[in-house]
Structure 1
Amino acid sequence: MDRISKLPEALILRILSLLPAQDVVATMFLSKRWQPLWTLVPKLMYDDSYQNIEYRRFSKFVDRSLLLHEAPVVETLNFKLGRNSRAVDIGVWTRTAVKRCVRELIIEIDCSSSTTALILPKSLCTDCTMLVTLTLISVILVDVSSSVSFPSLKGLGLVSVKYPDDEFVKRLLSNCPVLEALAVERNPDENVTIFTIIVPSLKSLFLRESSKCVRNDARGFVIDAPSLEFFDIRDHRSGFCVFENNMPKIIKADVDVLYSHPGKILSSITSVKHLYLCLRNSKDLYPVGSVFHHLVHLKLCTCETEWLNLLMCVLRDSPKLQTLKLEQCHNHMKQTPRQCWLEPNSVPECLLTSLETLEWVNYEGTVEEKEVAAFILRNGSCLKKAFTYLSTCIPVKLWSFSHEGSSNIWLLSQCLIRIFGYVET
């Protein structure tokens, strides 16, 4: 402890920020050097399950510690609460946090110890004007007569939250004028059908549909975010995701959905540079006429029967592609017939001019996989590296070379025989 006491005060405060608030306050009894330090800690985490303290004592502890806290700015205030939590307490603590200029507020309800979600006070949506980041987990938001206002909010996380209705969600997000990052995991019991996101300033969007949700084709997302740069969606329960406008600034997109028409997403993100795709059981896999002029990195999931067709479409329309990764990310139905390989009449431009790396994860050595590998290796004029990871998770380096036209075809064929037991004639 003497060594820690000699550390700079700023470093000690960072260390204390990692501890539960109960332990932070307890350090005041270590020595005179430590006595005032806890009141300056910029991050406080209150967990009512820690040390099995009864809620009444916990509530008084939070009240008193927040009252005595003297840091000019509270960077993070984190509440992890259980079944005995009360909305009135949250209201008091939130108002205190506002006076302390809190920047990040996290409210998490432990559903495993609670029969009902906690209804948050209306003041949360109207008084926290200084908040920069807000995360709500397993809570209930109620409608407010006055306007929702988060003028400084840049990051928002909504996990298993219940809302009054569709219109409240739309109004909540539209009153976050500088919001840049939004993460949403939808609750199976929420009273929202269409989750509307109209945020001109939004740069990063992370969407998840709970696996507990019942399949509902009328339920989905509507998005209007022209500044979006990063998009990540995994949804196997809802029916749709619609972009009101194209995303001209998109850099990276991860799309893992079980929609009937996922092409509506792809047609809006053609400016993407890094793309992950898993489109499952879909009628309309690929939007006709889409060209990914800026795509350089593609990861494609091979779990579904239509992956071959999707792969060739994207390769055909991605003239600058440099890295291709194929991976079976999910278990596929063994009894479902796999798509047969039909070699295209023309070679995609990216194979001839730009593709440098091929990586194949969970390679099983099926007939169609061997044929696809042979086609890419035979026509990949710029390929420098090719790796495969067998289903046993053992990486095998296929080849590392610099192409010199057709002189390497024989070497490639020998490589295919050695690794795949197959060669194209």
Structure 2
Amino acid sequence: MDRINQLPDELLLKILAMLPTMKDVVDTMLLSKRWQLLWMMVPRIKYKDTYKHPKYGSFSLFVDRSFFRHEAPVIEALHFKLGSICGSEDIHAWMRSADKRCVLLLPWSLYRGGCSMLVTLNIRNAVLVDNLEQPISFPFLRTLSLESMKYPSGEFVKNLLSNCHVLENLDVEQCEADNATIFTVIVPSLKSLVLKTLENKLGNDAHGNMSKIVEAKLVLNTWKLWKKLGSIASFKRLYLCLPSLNDMYPAGSVFSSLVHLKICTCETEWVNVLMCVLKDSPSLRALKLHQCHFLRSKEPRPCWNPAWNESSSVPECLLSSIETFEWVKYEGAEEEKEVVAFVFRSAKCLKKATINFHSKTNDTDKKLEVIKELFSSSRRSPACQLEFR
């Protein structure tokens, strides 16, 4: 203990900031006289409500007392994880206190009036009941994450986003139960969009002023939503987890600025999605395939169309621009072998290819067999570096 006490306050505060909750931080005041006041200066505060009714009052009182005594000149992070019985009066009181303390990162709740220094806001599994008649303003907010939320209405969402004038990163995951029947995204400053939404949830005007978006991650359940996104020619980085082509791939799609493409291989028709997007991405330089979700065991494996092997079917990006190729959770299934062989055979500018095996392919002999197959079936450029992991 003496050796720890000899450490400078700056280092001790960093150690305290890594503790799970503020209660753990406050408990350190019992260690020695050196620690009695140290907890008050911790720049990152995390409150977690583990109490059940009627003991919630103990948690509320602890927050009031510890937050009131806290003296750090700037709070870098303030995190509240609250239970369902938390009262709105407590939340508003804590938010007002946080606003006065110049909080820089407040991942909990929207509130009226705005926090002048708020730059990051992450909200998850919450119900927002704010009055639309009151102004909502986040003048410095750059990153916003809304996951499994229930909103008062679609108008509330539109009003919220329109008052985030410098927002650059938006992460949205909708749920069936939310009240936003139309989710409208019109944010001129937006650079990165992560959208996991449902049919009939995305507004017809959602594509307005999205010409500056650089990176997008789209997890959609129908191509109809894809069409509603409007012009996406400016996207430079794109992650897709999309359904089958039964809704018809939007004709005339062109990803003229797309440089990095990541395709999820969990859907049955992912190979079709891959080939369609490759043909419409003339400037693509990096291709990544990744099984991000569990495969649907009852559905058939994807199929490789032999017609794609024809020279006339080779996408332009494979002939002239793709330099790196990566496959995460490669299993060695027939369609996967076909895709790898096709890429190696067609990518004339390929400099590096990385195959990361699926965890279930952990047998050394099986891995060696797969590697031999890849070497024998591929005719990649001699300048291409090949890695296996």
Same fold at TM > 0.5: yes
8 Å contact from structure 2 (residues 344, 379) kept in 1: no
Quick one: structure 1 residues 358 and 33, their matched pair in 2 at CA, closer, same or farther if it must change by over 3 Å? closer
Gaps of 5+ in 2: 384-389
- Describe the superposition over 1:199-242 as per-residue Cα deviations: whole angstroms up to 9, x where unpaired: 22222332334xxxxxx64322567xxxxxxxxxxxxxxxxxx5
Tell me if structure 2 keeps the 8 A contact 1:262–1:286.
no
Q: Does 1:76 align with 2:77?
A: yes
Question: Cα 1:287–1:245, aligned 2, differ >3 Å: closer, same or farther?
Answer: farther
Which residue does 1:247 correspond to in 2?
211
Tell me whether 1:6 sits opposite 2:6 in the alignment.
yes
Return the letter of the residue paired with 1:219.
K
1:134 aligns with 2:121: yes
Mark the CA change 1:362 to 1:168 in structure 2 (over 3 Å): closer, same or farther: same
Pair 1:299-2:262 in alignment? yes
- 1: distance between equivalents of 2:163 and 2:277? 38
Cα gap change, 1:23 to 1:53, in 2 (>3 Å)? farther
CA offsets per residue over residues 84-123 of structure 1, 9 Å max, x none? 3221112222222222222222338xxxxxxxxxxx8xxx
Q: Is the 8 A contact 1:300 1:311 kept in 2?
A: yes
Identical positions, percent: 50
Asked if structure 1 preserves the Cα contact closer than 8 Å seen for 2:202 and 2:225, the reply is no
**CA distances 1:322-370 after superposition (whole Å, capped 9, x unpaired):** 443445554255358846431345143333333344445544443x555
Contact 1:104 1:132 in 2 (8 A): yes
353, 356, 361: which one pairs with 1:393? 361
Partner residue, 1:403: 381
**8 Å Cα contact 1:308-1:341 kept in structure 2:** no
The alignment covers a number of residue pairs equal to: 366
Distance 1:126 1:38, change over 3 A: same
2:276 pairs with 313, 334, 348, which one? 313
Aligned partner of 1:185 in structure 2 is 173
| Equivalent residue, structure 1, for 2:306 | 341
Q: Structure 1 residues 74, 338: closer, same or farther in 2, change over 3 A?
A: same
| Structure 2 contact 119–143 (Cα < 8 Å) conserved | yes
Deviation at 1:160, TM superposition (A): 2.9
Picking from 269, 279, 298, the partner of 2:242 is 279
Assess if the C-alpha contact under 8 Å between 2:187 and 2:209 holds in 1: no
Report the counterpart of residue 86 of structure 1 in structure 2.
87
| Alpha-carbon distance change, 312 to 53 in structure 1, aligned in 2, over 3 angstroms | same
Bigger proportion of residues as strand = 1
TM-score, length basis structure 2 = 0.79
**Residues 52, 27 of structure 1: alpha-carbon distance in 2 compared, 3 angstrom cutoff:** farther
Does 2:317 correspond to 1:350? yes
Alignment of 1:19-418 (within 5 A): 19=19, 20-49=21-50, 54-107=55-108, 124-144=111-131, 145-209=133-197, 217-221=199-203, 242-245=206-209, 247-250=211-214, 252-261=215-224, 263-264=226-227, 268-304=231-267, 306-329=269-292, 330-332=294-296, 333-335=298-300, 338=303, 340-343=305-308, 344=310, 346=312, 347-360=314-327, 361-366=329-334, 371-386=338-353, 392-393=360-361, 396-397=370-371, 398-399=374-375, 403=381
Partners of 1:262 and 1:284 within 8 A in 2: no
- 1:170 positional shift: 0.9
Q: Label 1:143 to 1:402 Cα distance change in 2 as closer, same or farther (>3 A).
A: closer
Distance 2:54 2:45 in 1: 17
Give, in whole Å, the separation in 2 of the partners of 1:359 and 1:127. Answer: 43
Deviation for aligned residue 1:151: 2.2
Structure with bigger RCO (C-alpha 8 Å, 6+ apart): 2
Larger mean Cα displacement after TM superposition, 327-336 or 75-84 = 327-336
Q: Distance in 2 between matches of 1:307 and 1:187?
A: 24
Pair 1:357–1:208, CA change in 2 (3 A):
closer
1:387 is displaced (CA, Å) by: 5.6
- For residues 255-281 of structure 1, what are the alpha-carbon distances to aligned partners after superposition, in whole Å with 9 as ceiling and x for unaligned? 332214355278633333333333213
With over 3 angstroms needed to count, the CA separation of the structure-2 counterparts of 1:142 and 1:402, relative to structure 1, is closer
- CA change 1:273–1:35 in 2 (3 A) is same
Q: Specify the alignment match of 1:230 in structure 2.
A: none
**CA shift at 1:65, angstroms?**
1.4
AA partner of residue 351 (structure 1) = L
For the Cα contact (< 8 Å) 2:324–2:350, is it kept in 1? yes
Residue 35 and residue 284 in structure 1: after superposition, are their counterparts in 2 closer, same or farther (change >3 A)?
same
Closer/same/farther in 2, CA of residues 348 and 46 from structure 1, 3 Å limit: closer
CA gap of 1:13–1:291, structure 2 versus 1, over 3 A, is same
Q: Which amino acid aligns with 1:102?
A: V
Q: Point out the structure with the larger helix share.
A: 2
Name the amino acid aligned to 2:103: V
CA RMSD of aligned residues (A): 3.5
Structure having the higher Rg: 1
